[in-house]
Structure formats: C-alpha cells, structure tokens
Amino acid sequence: MILAFLPNLVFLVLLIITIFIFTRNILKIKSNIDLGENIDRTDKPSERWKNMAQIALGQSKMVKRPIAGVLHVVVYIGFLIINIELLEIIIDGIFGTHRIFAPILGGVYDVLIATFEFFAFLVLVAVILFWCRRNIIRLNRFWKNEMKGWPKLDADLILYFEIILMTLFLTMNGADFYIQNNFPNAEHYQQAGSFPISQYIAALLEGVSLETAITIERIAWWMHIIGIFIFLNYLYYSKHLHILLAFPNTYFANLNAKGAFANNPAVTAEVKLMFDPDADPYAAADDSAEEPDKFGASDVMDLNKIQLLNAYTCTECGRCTSECPANQTGKLLSPRKIMMDTRDRLTEVGKNIQKNKGVFVPDGKQLLNNYISTEELWACTSCNACVQACPIDIDPLSIIMSMRQYLVMEESSAPTDLNNMMGNIENNGAPWPFNQQDRINWVQDL
Amino acid sequence: MIKVPTVAELTAEGKIPEILFWVGCAGSFDERAKKITKAFVKILHNAGVSYGVLGAEESCTGDPAKRSGNEFLFQMQAIANIEVLNGYGVKKIVTACPHCFNTLKNEYPELGGSYEVIHHTQLLKDLLDQGKLTIEKGSYKGKKITFHDPCYLGRANNVYEAPRDLIKKLDAELVEMKNCKAKGLCCGAGGAQMFKEPENGSKDINIERTEQALETKPDIIAAGCPFCNTMLTDGVKNKEKEGEIPVLDVAELIATAKDL
C-alpha cells in the first residue's frame, strides 16, 4: 500500500526541496541587493508598468538586433507557454494521476499540447542556432576576455539544459502517444490528442513492448521534471537569473533622460551652505543634511540597490560591450565586465557576511582595483551607448560614474590632465586657462 | 558689424530678451568653435530673434567636472550659474553645445534652475517653420552631407530629427552612417575625454568615427557639437582629407547658404 504511493511521496519531497532551496536563494539575492544604498524609484508607477510590459514582457529592445531578437522571442514564448504544462505535471506528480487535464479539457487539451509541442520544437531549433552562434560562428561579443571560464561554460550549460529538457518533453509525449495508439487498454494512457511533433518519436518506437514504452515514458517524465527542478536552482549560480529579474529591473529602471546624471544631495547641502551669505560658519553641522560616509563608490555597498539589481540581472549578452566606443577601439573598458564584476564582488561580500554571522568582515578587497581598474573607469566617454543597447535596461554607466566620483572626491586621483581641467574651471570658469573676462571677445570681428 | 547684446546691458535698458544664448566655453574660447558661435549669431540677427548673452557672467556649466566625478565642483558651478540666470529672470535658453544643453536642461532644475532649454538646431528648425528664417535653396544641391549625432543631443536627450530636417531643407542629400541616431558612435570627446589623453587601445575613437563618416563618401560632414567638431576635424586631418571634406556645424551650413 505504502509502496504504491512511493512515487507520489518522492515527487512531493523533491518539490518541497526545490521550493525550499529556490526560496533560500532568492532571499539571499534580496539580502545582497539590500546591502546597497536606498534609492527611490517608486514614482510614476503607470509609466513603470508600461516600461516593464514593453521591454521585459514585450521584448521591444531585444528585437533591435533582429536575428538574436527573433530567436530569443521564440525561446521566451516557448518558455512561457510550455511552463503551463508544468501545472499538470506537478498535479500528476503529487496525486499520482496521469494527464489529469486531458479528459477535463478534451479538444482544448489536444490544441494545448499541440501548441506546447510546436514551441518545444521551435525552442530546440532556436537553442541549437544560439549554440552555433556562440561556438561555430563564434560571434566576437561571446569571446571577449571577461567571458573566459565559468561565463562561457554557464552560457553553454544553459543551452544544453534547454536542449535536454525539450528533448525529454517530446520523448515523454512520444512514448505516451505510442502507448495510446498501440495499447488502448493500458491503464492511465487515455487518448489525449494528436501530438503533432512527438508522433515522429512515437514512430521510432514501432514494435516496442508496452512495458518498455511505459519505462521510456516514465523515465522521460521524471527526468524532465527533475531537470526543471535542477534548472530552477541553477539560476542562482548563473547569468540566467535574467528570466526573473528582467521584470523588476525594467520596472525600477531610470525613466529620466539618459543624459541626466543624478545630483548628489549631500553635496548640494554643502554647496548651498557655502553660497548662503547668512550662514554661520561656526554653527554646528545640520544633522538633517546627512553626510555620507564617503562620496561615490569603491565597493558594492556604496552602490545603490538598483545598481546591484542591475548586476544580478545581467545575462552577459555583451550588446553593451559591442556598442561601447572604448571597447571597439581596443580599450580595457567593457560595460559587461563592469556588471559581472559588480555581481561577483556582491556575491563574495554576501558569502562573507553569511560566514561571519551577519557581519561583513573586511577581506582586504573591494570592487575598485580588485575587480574594476581605474584604467577601465577612465576610458568611458559617458556616451550612453551601453545603456541604450541593453535589452533589459541595465545601466553600467551609472556604476562607472559612481566609481569616478569616489576616485576624484575621496582619492583625488584623477588623471593629471583632468585635474588641470578642473583647476581651470575652479579658477576661471572654463576647462581651459582663459580669463573669464575674455569670454565675450569673440564678438570683436563679427 | 553686428552688436551682440549682453543680458546685463539689455536689463539696464529695461529690455528682457526672449531667449538667452548660452555660448559655452568652447564657443567662447576655442578658435574653431568661435566660428560656429558667430555663424549662429548672424542667423539670430538675420531672423530678428530677441536674444542676449551673459558674456563675462557666463561660466562653465560644470559638465566636464561632473563627468570626471567631481560632483562638488559641478554643483559649485551650477549653483553660481543658477544665481546669475535666476537673477536675470531667464526663462528660455538656447545653446550650440549639447553638453551645456544637457546639463542646463536636465541637471539644473533639481538645483533650483528650471528653464526651457533648446539646442540651436531646434531653434533654427522653429525659425524655419515659423517663416522667420528662410533658406535659399541651391547652394548645397547635389551635395552629400552626413550628420554625426552628438551623444548628449541624441541618445542622452532623444533629439535626432531637428538637425536632419535642417540639412534636408538645404536641398542637400542626407546620407546616414552605419551607426546613426540611437546607435550613433561617440566622437570620443564625451565624459571629459576631451581634456585628457585616451587610454591605451588599438585606435582612437575619433578615427573610428571618422572612418564611418568617410564610408558614406560625403562632401561635408555635419556636426552639432563643438567637441564632436574638433574630434572629427582631427580625424579628417588624420585621413589626409582636410581641404577636401569640411566638418561643419549645422549653423555654419545655414549661415553659408544665406551668405551671412
């Protein structure tokens, strides 16, 4: 009796473990993002929903590059559609039923499964083409320096995962269809539809016994769902997190003109005080104008929460880097690497805190220099090409600017030329050493 | 001889100009950019625009300081400029520099300086549309002109059409580079790069961009930013095409067409 329920029990335990680990990972990401400074991005909610609907749900920036865009849309729609089937698989798994929706939905079920199969096949084709772009055509942006090692393996593993999952899905359907057609009296395996793609797999099984067919169907069914459980918890270690985080990331994206860089409010308070003729120079500092512990960012904790969310959201597609004028002309700067470094450092800091029971114990490292070099930071032209290129509204430029702010305001370590330029602005109101009184001299020979 | 009025003079006479022409540091001091300033002012006079300049009261907007990371110096400049602008009751500003344009438009409001800020190509377009400025067709007929999008005008503020409309009005053939509009390639000067040597690499950005411009086989390369102008002029020199392919601001194109 108990043995009869063993599969259900195993399934339930696996499901609970999966949900437990997944929740723990999501909470870990959340607590790491919370290490960042607060930033208010809750204004204009309707515009934010619209941004998310267009860019994350609607993939509007993705299709700016048509080939990758269309292939991605196929995989994305496939992912959304085929996951509807997960509901049935989970119910069947828990209750020991088989295709519980088939008798309920009748003809609709046939159409649904046919649609899933159609997309599963398209996803297979798209993913294989993706693999070819990476490994045979070897598109330049997939082979940059920052892609060596784990990022390269990660990208390929995701594609292998998807190939395996889709193949298992179609195999399980094919075996099922074979049983339905050849063994009408087999328990559980009722007629469920036309199975337009997997019928070809069923044809391959011709002559196979019922027992073997059931074994194939069961193995494929179990491996498919276990594969999904594993994939779900693989996300945390992977760039593939974008499938979840693209949504909050586009919701909380910067909606202002790209040229508008944030003004640091702590600086404003100080500057206004300097300009105020009534200010008492000996007065105690106003506590309401909270002085930050430092200007700009040298480590991940100095960045804001959106910048950290950006880092986790990055899927390393490299469109930013391929559009970056500095990178195109052989400079060290790669906006994608800025995002990957930020994420990797944040993960490292998160582990440190976890190991030390909630407290960050200085590890002699920081984002600046240990991950991102000053040479990279000073190569940026602030042209916003990276921000424009990102299909999910990640802003590498804001991190570069935060770090430049630290370099200049905390370390006074700008390149000499820039120090001269800033000295000129300070002394005569122009980046060059000209007298402010001469600003109007151009009118002389009009 | 054109007399350029300063806002201080106008205010003393009890006049308030409709629009302030923010000349910018390049437009005031750089020999090449001064020519753009003059061309623009000639058009303003020709179209009878009520304008004034700040002259010696103008100071750097702080853009290169902010992009270098010196938020303190930026805000010092901004607050000082805002005091001057608000003191004169300035409502509308036009500038031929996309960096000044962006900073005044996007970064000053939060610090107490809210103005209607437009780029000079937008003003010129308005003047044409209103019939205050006319362009005699013909001088650029059959000429191929390619327009380089300044990052701080294009991507940063989504102004792509005003300069293109002007070029088309000149009867010239507008040819686009392979990277244009939202995908426009930077000239290499932004983010305070203008004031420093580039980092080590395989090529300078302005050379890359100039190559893209030359691929369109243009008669003229048009720009809308004094810094882009410098970078592309240097690029054209590097390709030994100076004298052959001029790099001109859109205002210069119009001033020349009108023989101003």
Of B69, B76, B202, the CB nearest to A409: B69
Pairing of strands B144-147, B173-175: parallel
B194 lies in some domain: yes
What's the pLDDT at B259? 84
pLDDT tens-digit readout, B41-73: 999 999 999 999 999 999 999 999 999 999 999
> What is the C-alpha separation between A181 and A55, in angstroms, rounded?
44
Q: A245: Cβ–Cβ under 8 A, 6 or more apart, which residues?
A: A309, A312, A313
A107–chain B nearest CA distance, Å: 48
Please answer yes or no on whether B79 and A418 come within 8 Å at the CB atom: no
Chain A residues touching B185 at Cβ < 8 A: 325, 328, 385
What pLDDT, in 10s, does the model give residues B148-188?
999 999 999 999 999 999 999 999 999 999 999 999 999 99
Same structural domain, B117 and B141: no
For residue A132, give both structure tokens: 């070819």
Domain-embedded: residue B1: no
Q: State the CATH number of the domain containing residue B222.
A: 3.40.50
**Residue indicated by tokens 């990797």:** A344
The structure tokens listed for B101 are 């344009």
Beta-bridge partner residues of B52: B20
Q: What residues of B are in contact with residue A403 (Cβ under 8 Å)?
A: 69
DSSP state of A74: H
Q: Which residues in chain B are closer than 8 Å to A432, comparing Cβ atoms? A: 25, 29-30
* Cβ contact A442–B65 (<8 Å): no
Is the ipTM of this structure higher than 0.90? Answer: yes
Work out the mean pLDDT of chain A and round it to a whole number: 94
Last residue of a domain, one of B98, B126, B154: B126
Question: Inter-chain contact A379–B1, Cβ cutoff 8 Å?
Answer: no
> Last residue of a domain, which of B73, B97, B126?
B126
Of the candidates B29, B193, B190, the one whose C-alpha atom is nearest the C-alpha of residue B98 is B190
Q: Which of A391, A382, A371, A408 is nearest to A146 (CA)?
A: A371
Q: Does domain A265-428 have CATH number 3.10.450?
A: no
Residues B152 and B243 in one domain: yes
DSSP A445: T
Residues of B in contact with A380 (CB under 8 A): 191
Q: Do A439 and B55 touch (CB under 8 A)?
A: yes
Facing residue for B68 by CB, picked from A384, A387, A408? A408
Looking at the structure of chain B, the number of domains it has is 2
Give the CA dihedral B160, B163, B165, B169, nearest 10 degrees.
Answer: -170
The whole domain housing B184 covers 135-257
Chain segment A229-269, per-residue pLDDT in tens:
999 999 999 999 999 999 999 999 999 999 999 999 889 98
- Any domain includes B19: yes
Is residue B85 within 8 Å of residue B20, measured between CB atoms? yes
Indicate whether B67 and B41 sit together in one domain.
Answer: yes
- DSSP-derived 3-state class of residue A149: coil
In this complex, the residue of B69, B151, B197 whose CB is nearest that of residue A384 is B151
- Backbone torsions φ then ψ of A174, nearest 5 degrees: -60, -45
Q: What is the mean pLDDT of residues A333-352?
A: 98
Pairing of strands B92-95, B19-22: parallel
Residue A292, pLDDT above cutoff 70: no
End-to-end Cα distance, chain A: 102
**Is the predicted pLDDT of residue A286 greater than 70, yes or no?**
no
Q: Is residue B218 located within the same domain as residue B113?
A: no
- Cα B99-A444-B82 angle, rounded to 5 deg: 35
Confidence of residue A3 (pLDDT cuts 50, 70, 90): confident
- Band (pLDDT 50/70/90 cuts) for residue A82 is confident
What pLDDT is stored for residue B139 in this prediction?
83
d(CA B125, CA A51): 31
Between CA A182 and CA A174 the distance in angstroms is 12
Cβ of A421 within 8 Å of Cβ of B196? The answer is: yes
Comparing C-alpha atoms, which of A232, A236, A228 is closest to residue A90?
A228
Quick one: pLDDT band at residue A291, thresholds 50, 70, 90? low
Q: Left, alpha or beta for A311 (phi > 0: left; psi -120 to 50: alpha)?
A: alpha
pLDDT at position A343: 98
* CB-CB under 8 Å, A439 with B70: no
Nearest by CB: B69 against A381, A407, A417: A407
Distance from CA of A220 to the nearest CA of B (A): 46
Residues of B in contact with A411 (CB under 8 A): none
Q: Reduced to 3 states, what is the DSSP secondary structure of residue A209?
A: coil
Dihedral of CA atoms A332, A336, A342, A345 in degrees, nearest 10, equals -80
| Owner of token pair 């209607």 | B116
Please tell me the distance from the alpha carbon of residue A270 to that of residue A290, in angstroms, as a whole number.
10
Q: At which residue do the structure tokens 């006079």 appear?
A: B45
User: Considering only CA atoms, which of B236, B247, B237, B242 is closest in space to residue B210?
Assistant: B236
**Domain locations along chain A:** 3-34+65-251, 265-428
- Considering only CB atoms, A325 lies closest to which of B1, B107, B205, namely B205
- Cβ of B201 within 8 Å of Cβ of A259? The answer is no
CA distance A242 to A240: 5
* CATH number for the domain that contains residue B45: 3.40.50.1860
Q: What strands lie across the sheet with B19-22, from one edge to the other?
A: B51-52, B19-22, B92-95, B116-119
Segment A422-427 shows an average pLDDT of 97
- Percent of chain A residues topping a pLDDT of 90: 89
A56: DSSP letter: I
| Contact across the interface for B4 and A446, Cβ inside 8 Å | yes
Q: Is residue B2 in a domain? A: no
- Do B199 and B216 fall into the same domain? yes
- DSSP assigned state of A184: T
Q: Which residue has the tokens 């003059």?
A: B38
Residue B221 has φ and ψ, to the nearest 5°, of -100, 120
Residue B11 resides in a domain: yes
Tell me which amino acid residue A266 is.
Answer: A
Chain B residue closest in CA terms to A64: B183
Nearest-Cα residue of chain B relative to residue A437: B56
CA distance A439 to chain B (A): 5
Q: How large is the average pLDDT for residues A210-223? A: 97
Distance from CA of B183 to the nearest CA of A (A): 7
- Look at B69 and A405 and tell me if their CB atoms are within 8 Å: yes
Whether this model's pTM surpasses 0.80: yes
Q: How far is B9 from chain A (nearest CA, A)?
A: 13
User: In this model, does residue A289 exceed pLDDT 80?
Assistant: no
Contact A260 B107 (CB under 8 A): yes
Domain assignment of residue B162, yes or no? yes
Residue pairs spanning A and B at CB distance below 8 A: 226
Q: Which of B36, B68, B225 to mutate to test the interface with A (most CBs of A within 10 A)?
A: B68
C-alpha span between A353 and B183 (Å, rounded): 41
Q: Shortest CA distance to A430 belongs to which of B73, B85, B188? A: B73
Residues 6+ apart with CB under 8 A from A350: A28, A31, A32, A35
Q: What is the 3-state secondary structure (H, E, C) of chain B?
A: CCCCCEHHHHHHCCCCCCEEEECHHHHHHCHHHHHHHHHHHHHHHHCCCCEEECHHHCCCCCHHHHHHCCHHHHHHHHHHHHHHHHHCCCCEEEECCHHHHHHHHHHCHHHCCCCEEEEHHHHHHHHHHCCCCCCCCCCCCCCEEEECCCCCCCCCCCCCHHHHHHHHHCCCEEECCCCCHHHCCCCCCCCCHHHCCCCCCCCCHHHHHHHHHHHCCCCEEEECCHHHHHHHHHHHHHCCCCCCCCEEEHHHHHHHHCCC
> Rounded to an integer, what distance in angstroms lies between the CA atom of residue B129 and that of residue A94?
70
pLDDT, residue A115, reads: 96
Cβ pair A201, A213 in contact under 8 A? no
Going by C-alpha positions, the residue among A158, A124, A126 that lies closest to residue A62 is: A126
User: How far lies B65's CA from each of A280, A367, B46, in Å?
Assistant: 28, 23, 36
Nearest partner of A29 among A270, A283, A354, judged by Cα: A354
Place of tokens 């008669």: B219
Phi, psi of B93 (to 5 degrees): -130, 135
Phi, psi angle pair for B112, to nearest 5°: 105, 5
Single residue among B126, B157, B188 that ends a domain in this structure: B126
Q: Return d(Cα B134, Cα A446) in angstroms, integer.
A: 21
Instruction: Read off the pLDDT of residues A393-407 as tens digits, 9 standing for 90 and up.
Output: 999 999 999 999 999
Cβ contact (<8 Å) for A409 and B71?
yes
Cβ neighbors of B228 (< 8 A, separation 6 or more) are B148, B150, B187, B189
Residues of chain B positioned with their CB less than 8 A from the CB of A395: none
Report the mean per-residue pLDDT for chain B: 96
